[in-house]
């Protein structure tokens, strides 16, 4: 049976030692979330995740969702758990207090999201999608729409979805066929079919508010012709009460590899009543508010599952007696030594730890920028933070989810045959993790976004938001002998990243296939360097505190940091070589040969 304990000690380390949380607490709108309040929130989040959500993870996976004539029922226990979750205020923790939310900074909410994903990712999909829909409406909807819908969404009484994908198109949203016909009363008749709609239909809330991409009759071709509409499952009367059922229905649910307790729906809109959100033909900017929010959250999903898998693998390795140490028995009084005596088992466990803790640090770095972007009184600071978030979003989404799948696979490997069977819960993490590399834009699309949009944006200005602080850190610490084991590897990898960036920029101008061929390797190279920057700073803190460390926390940090620099960061060399090889081999084969 899987178990999970929220890694609160490491979360506090990242929040208050690696970074200065006071920077966030002092932002307008974040004053109520003092360090003491944040600590209490983390403690309570840990309780509900460990005690309420975790026990439903395996049972929800085994039972899955049920569909019958358009009605979807979630697994046993989910409805009661959701009610407890909503009553505790967790559906609105990061929402605007003007609509009943608590206004928590993203820096805190990211850690809460991680715990939810570790405990029960399928459950987390329901409030997660609702928050994304809330964010899009909060940023782009009229005051009337916000007043009518947001309070119930914030309270968790109503849920939200995003309806983008259609049977014939996923990433290429410019060719969607869903239509929006204007009516005389200001509403629109929405007709079309959307697929892969997470939480499109369920029994957790009274109403479900769909955000739907569709095209008006006069829409220009491509993505410039997409508009965004709000389509409630049940109509909402002027007094806020629910009226008639709208003409939107779940045609079926998908039978999936993982996240089986999350309903993934085919949604049919048959002249359903909807209202325009924002301006006509401006649906993509509005939807990207939601998608960028979701892409960061999906990255956190990879981290959460990786952490749960690491804990299960480490616990098993401590207790499992199997074989003898290569250097001689370590527990001669027992019939065998624990798995922890074997170097390869340690390699897997340390890889999990190094990737997870590095991702947690990097995720909070980006979350802090989101808070600055939203709350800082200085427009210049907000703009710089926005540029940093734009640059790092595809890296967080792709790197964290790639690592999530890789580290959960390592967890299975540590347990061997026991990892492959359902009883220990480890194989579910692998199945659940796989989708995160696909939805909200596949990781290949994230890589293309990085090299095709973010690198050239504003004549390369986005890159400065990352390159400058890393360069400054290296220059100010390169002479520190004690930090040499951490700063020198970072400097070498950073040099590779700089050179690869220049090469891709030059080659891509002459032949776009060059940038496309390098994109995935370049994103991984960038991500490895970014996490190395986090690990160098964490090592610096740990070095200063290791001599007074009764719990061994900082000594463990140092060992993990050095492992990352010596065993994971060298991957940048191979990635650099692959990038520099160009696109010729990749593009040489005739299509018929595939």
Query: Are 120 and 222 part of one and the same domain?
Result: no
Q: Kindly state whether residues 90 and 182 are assigned to the same domain.
A: no
CB atoms closer than 10 angstroms to residue 98:
13
Burial tier of 23 (Cβ tally within 10 Å: 0-12, 13-18, 19+): middle
Does one domain contain both 237 and 136? no
Do 576 and 465 lie in a common domain?
Answer: yes
- Of 108, 140, 172, the position where a domain reaches its end is 140
In total, the chain counts a number of residues equal to 594
Contact call for residues 259 and 196 (beta carbons, < 8 A): no
Catalytic residues: 440
Residue 231 three-state SS? strand
Kind and range of the H or E element at 369?
helix 343-375
Residue 478, in any domain of the structure:
yes
Are residues 486 and 550 both part of a single domain?
Answer: yes
**Who's near 183: CB < 8 A, 6+ residues apart?**
189
Burial 477-496 (b: 16+ CB within 10 A, else e): beeeeebeebbebbbbbbeb
Neighbours of 468 (CB within 10 A): 10
For residue 232, the domain's CATH number is: 2.40.110.20
Question: What pTM does this model have?
Answer: 0.96
pLDDT attached to residue 424:
94
Domain boundary among 254, 286, 318: 286
* Same domain for 211 and 124: no
CA dist., res. 236 & res. 267, Å (int): 20
DSSP string for residues in 30-57: -TT--HHHHHHHHHHHHHHIIIIIGGGH
Cα–Cα dist 320/515, whole Å: 47
What is the C-alpha separation between 374 and 191, in angstroms, rounded?
A: 35
In a domain, 368, yes or no: no
Is residue 3 in some structural domain? no
The answer to whether 209 touches 230, Cβ cutoff 8 Å, is yes
> Which of these three, 251, 286, 321, is where a domain ends?
286
**Cα 48 vs. chain centroid, distance in angstroms?**
20
Inter-CA distances, 586 with 16, 366, 507, 589, 590, Å: 46, 33, 15, 7, 10
Q: Do the domain assignments include residue 313?
A: no
Q: In this structure, are 555 and 464 located in the same domain?
A: yes
Q: What is the pLDDT of residue 455?
A: 93
Per the domain annotation, does 461 fall within a domain?
A: yes
The CA distance from 286 to 354, in Å, is 36
Indicate whether 499 belongs to any domain.
yes
Q: What is the mean pLDDT of each run of 10 residues along the chain (594 residues)?
A: 92 98 96 96 98 98 97 98 98 97 96 98 97 94 96 98 90 86 96 96 98 94 92 94 96 97 98 96 81 85 98 96 93 94 98 98 97 96 96 97 98 97 96 96 96 92 96 96 96 98 92 95 98 98 94 97 98 98 94 94
Give yes or no: residues 200 and 228 share one domain. Answer: yes
Task: Judge if 269 and 177 occupy the same domain.
Answer: yes
Whether 218 and 262 map to the same domain: the answer is: yes
Q: Distance of alpha carbon 199 from its chain centroid, rounded?
A: 17
Under a CB-based contact definition with an 8 Å cutoff, are residues 169 and 209 in contact? no
Do residue 135 and residue 168 come from a single domain? no
Within 13 Å of residue 340, how many CA atoms lie on the same side as its CB? 11
Q: Which helix (H) or strand (E) holds 299?
A: helix 283-319
Instruction: Write out 132-169 in H/E/C secondary structure.
Output: HHHHHHHHHCCHHHHHHHHHHHHHCCEEEEEECCECCE
Per DSSP, the chain holds a count of helices (H) and strands (E) of 19, 11
The DSSP call for residue 451 is I
Find the CATH number of the domain harbouring 105: 1.10.540.10
Q: How many domains, in total, are found in the chain?
A: 3
Do 29 and 135 lie in one domain? The reply is yes
The domain of 112 spans 8-140
DSSP symbols for 324-356: --TTS-S-TTSSS-BGGGSHHHHHHHHHHHHHH
Rounded distance, CA 542 to CA 202, Å? Answer: 47
Dihedral of alpha carbons 28, 91, 289, 284, sign: negative
């Amino acid at each position: 049976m899987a178990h999970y304990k929220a890694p609160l000690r490491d979360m506090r380390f990242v929040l208050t030692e690696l970074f200065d949380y006071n920077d966030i607490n002092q932002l307008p709108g974040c004053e109520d979330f003092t360090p003491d309040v944040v600590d209490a929130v983390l403690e309570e989040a840990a309780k509900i995740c460990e005690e309420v959500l975790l026990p439903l993870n395996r049972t929800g996976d085994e039972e899955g969702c049920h569909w019958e004539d358009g009605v979807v029922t979630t697994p046993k226990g989910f409805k009661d758990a959701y009610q407890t979750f909503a009553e505790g205020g967790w559906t609105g923790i990061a929402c605007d207090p003007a609509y009943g939310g608590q206004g928590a900074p993203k820096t805190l909410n990211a850690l809460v999201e991680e715990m939810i994903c570790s405990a029960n990712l399928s459950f987390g999909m329901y409030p997660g999608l609702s928050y994304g829909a809330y964010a899009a409406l909060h940023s782009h909807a009229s005051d009337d729409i916000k007043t009518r819908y947001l309070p119930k969404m914030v309270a968790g009484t109503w849920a939200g979805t995003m309806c983008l994908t259609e049977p014939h198109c996923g990433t290429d949203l410019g060719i969607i066929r869903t239509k929006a016909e204007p009516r005389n009363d200001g509403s629109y008749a929405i007709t079309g079919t959307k697929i892969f709609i997470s939480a499109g239909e369920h029994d957790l809330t009274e109403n479900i508010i769909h955000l739907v991409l569709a095209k008006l009759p006069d829409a220009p071709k491509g993505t410039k012709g997409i508009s965004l509409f709000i389509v409630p499952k049940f109509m909402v009367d002027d007094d806020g009460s629910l009226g008639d059922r709208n003409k939107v229905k779940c045609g079926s649910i998908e039978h999936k590899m993982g996240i089986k307790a999350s309903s993934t729906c085919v949604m049919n809109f048959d002249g359903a009543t909807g209202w325009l959100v924002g301006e006509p033909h401006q649906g993509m900017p509005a939807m990207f508010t939601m998608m960028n929010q979701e892409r960061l959250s999906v990255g956190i999903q990879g981290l959460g599952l990786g952490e749960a898998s690491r804990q299960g693998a480490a616990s098993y390795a401590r207790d499992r007696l199997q074989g003898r140490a290569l250097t001689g028995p370590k527990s001669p009084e027992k019939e065998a030594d624990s798995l922890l005596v074997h170097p390869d088992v340690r390699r897997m466990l340390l890889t999990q730890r190094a990737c997870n803790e590095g991702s947690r640090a990097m995720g909070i770095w980006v979350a802090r920028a989101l808070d600055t972007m939203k709350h800082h009184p200085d427009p210049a600071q907000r703009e710089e933070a926005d540029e940093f978030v734009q640059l790092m979003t595809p890296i967080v989404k792709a790197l964290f989810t790639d690592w999530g799948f890789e580290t959960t696979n390592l967890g299975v490997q540590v347990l061997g045959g026991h990892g492959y069977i359902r009883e220990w819960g480890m194989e579910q993490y692998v199945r659940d993790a796989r989708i995160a590399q696909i939805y909200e834009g596949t990781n290949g699309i994230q890589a293309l976004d990085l090299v095709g949009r973010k690198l050239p944006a504003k004549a390369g200005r986005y890159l400065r938001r990352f390159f400058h602080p890393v360069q400054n850190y290296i220059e100010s610490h390169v002479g520190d002998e004690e930090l040499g084991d951490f700063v020198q590897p970072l400097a070498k990898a950073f040099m590779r990243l700089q050179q690869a960036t220049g090469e891709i920029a030059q080659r891509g101008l002459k032949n776009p296939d060059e940038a496309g061929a390098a994109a995935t390797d370049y994103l991984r190279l960038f991500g490895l360097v970014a996490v190395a920057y986090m690990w160098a700073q964490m090592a610096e803190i740990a070095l200063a505190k290791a001599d007074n460390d009764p719990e061994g926390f900082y000594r463990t940090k140092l060992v993990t940091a050095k492992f990352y620099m010596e065993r994971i960061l060298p991957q940048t060399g191979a990635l650099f070589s692959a990038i520099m090889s160009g696109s010729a081999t990749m593009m040489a084969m005739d299509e018929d040969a595939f």
